[in-house]
Chains A and B, each alone.
Chain A
Amino acid sequence: MAQDIIFCKTGGCGAKLGAGMLSRILGMLPQQEDEKLLVGFKGHDDAAVYKISEDTAIVSTLDFFPPMVEDPYTFGQIAAANALSDIYAMGGKPITALNIVCFPESMDMNILGRILQGGCDKVNEAGALLCGGHSISDSDIKYGLSVTGTIDPERVLRNNTCRPGDRLILSKPLGVGIINAAARAGAASKEQLDAAVEQMTKLNKYAAQILEGFEVHACTDVTGFGLLGHLKEMLGGEIGAEVEFKNIQTLPGVYELAADFMITGAGQKNRHFAGETVEFLTDDYAAEEVLFDPQTSGGLLAAAAPQDADRIISELKAQGHICSLVGTVTGGNRIRVR
């Protein structure tokens, strides 16, 4: 089957370029300033925010990647949930979406149809309108969306505005990259794959709605750079964090798969990116791999005021989110993991 060959490559957010390399290149581009541009390149935020009037700003983002699952409809759903996620991570509401498609001309167009249907269904679930797109013929399949949302300019949730003492909350379990890697080696069970798909297709809309009611100082979504890579970006080199591995929820059997070296190249790139910032206080190789594991359509990582953290966790749990109290923002500029 033709699609078997294409599906066996590294897909999802694991296909991202390494964060370290990207930072260097982006650092060389001129920084454009405009008072209406509330969020641009600086701070490596999830999406751009541009103020169009006193009470409205638009949030723009795009995301696309190669498949990480066999089923085209599921892949479409995951790609859309992942693209929409950046809007939620900024605290915005998606309004319109455009498809981005790379597809081999020689392949069965029904497969493309199923991918687009999956994407469209998720955009509808988000309450946004799918209103066009662009497609090119390519050797491999890639799909994603460009999404536009709106936001109150006073309520933009930056990723790098957390404060020491904040509690770090993650709204989805970790381990998607490890399960996908194990699947390529034929070592993941159906139960594990189903659990990973359930999380990847889940919109961050619902977790974002819960966060809205609380004092949240910063938010991002955890994708290709893994929990520690995204946390490093959140802290911006100026503050630190303490992370408790034992409190972090993972997909079933992920720790064991990591211990069995079902690990990705992207995870190793994330380790390089985190570099000296991360300090492991315990010797637990598998835990390190889980914390560096690239996530596709991962959860929201929020820095919440300490008095609100327990209530956020209990509301997320009440709505079926497999969430974790990851740790605490601290002084210093290291991420210390125990």
Chain B
Amino acid sequence: MIKVNAVGDQCPIPIVKTKEAIKQLGGSGVVETSVDNEIAVENLRKFAAHSGYGFESTQDGAVYTVTMTVGEAQEECAQCAPDCIEYGTVVVISSSEMGQGDEKLGKALMKGFIYAISKADSLPETVLFYNGGAFLTAEGSDSLEDIRAMAEEGVEILTCGTCINHYGLSAEPPVGSVTNMYTIAEKMTGAKKLIRP
């Protein structure tokens, strides 16, 4: 075991000294670092977590002792669930109706479509709303709850500002943000997969 005294040292020195000691270990082993503030303990914890070292800390008065174990088999981190956003997938909603024909049916289909994508295992990176699509992100839309659910999962929700103005909708849609043609064009041309219901 190597002991490192970093009492009185400001970050990043405690980490630098600890790294130096780990290098000296030249393999598996234990490094014990003493510091005098909790922030340094937290920074050492981040360092250990990202380097895959075992981490323990104890406090004795004003001195904190951090024990790092190198070469321990690391458990898979529970938070690393597969990312449910499919980057590069862009959904374009250009109308409040899905398909052409009966208006009432078209609206019901669109509501169903948005519900279905919001519940899918992999969510799109971005959903663009323009022309009649702008009504779906506006106050009073039947799909607002589903769109909000996607936004909360990290899906980028963008509504065309020109369309909002044209239809006299609220300048600040209740979900997502307002965008312009430059961004719409960039998102569409940059998409790996473009979905247009």
Contact = CB atoms under 8 A, between A and B. Distances in A.
B178 A164 contact: yes
Interface in B134-166: 151, 154, 156, 161
A181 B12 CA distance: 6
Interface in B47-94: 47, 50, 80, 83, 85
B124 interface: no
A306 B172 contact: no
Contacts of B80: 283
Nearest to A334: B152
A176 to B, nearest CB: 14
B1 interface: no
Given A265-B39, A268-B43, A164 B177 contact: yes
A153 B140 CA distance: 39
Interface in A128-150: none
Contact of A165 (B16, B19, B43, B177): B177
B88 to A, nearest CB: 13
B173 to A, nearest CB: 7
A23 interface: no
Contacts of B180: 306-307
- Interface size bracket, B side: 20 to 34
A306 to B, nearest CB: 6
Interface in A1-35: 9-10
A217 interface: no
Contact of A265 (B40, B173, B177): B40
Interface string A248-286: 000000000000011111001100000000010111010
A302 interface: no
B29 interface: no
A328 interface: yes
A193 B47 CA distance: 24
A242 B156 contact: yes
A69 B52 CA distance: 34
A330 interface: yes
A261 B176 contact: no
Contacts of A262: 12, 16
A338 B12 contact: no
A185 B172 contact: no
B178 A265 contact: no
Contacts of A265: 10-11, 37, 39-40, 43
A285 B43 contact: no
Nearest to A9: B10
Contacts of A185: 12-13, 16
Given A165-B178, A306-B178, A268 B172 contact: no
Given A164-B172, A269-B39, A328 B177 contact: yes
B47 A281 contact: no
A208 B56 CA distance: 48
B13 A242 contact: no
Interface of B: 10-13, 15-16, 19, 37, 39-40, 42-43, 46-47, 50, 80, 83, 85, 151, 154, 156, 161, 171-180, 182
6 contacts: A165-B171, A165-B177, A184-B10, A263-B46, A281-B85, A331-B173
The 10 closest A-B CB pairs, nearest first, are A165-B178, A265-B39, A265-B11, A330-B177, A281-B154, A185-B16, A164-B172, A10-B10, A261-B15, A328-B177
Interface of A: 9-10, 163-165, 181-182, 184-185, 187, 242, 261-265, 268-269, 279, 281-283, 285, 306-307, 310, 328-332, 336, 338
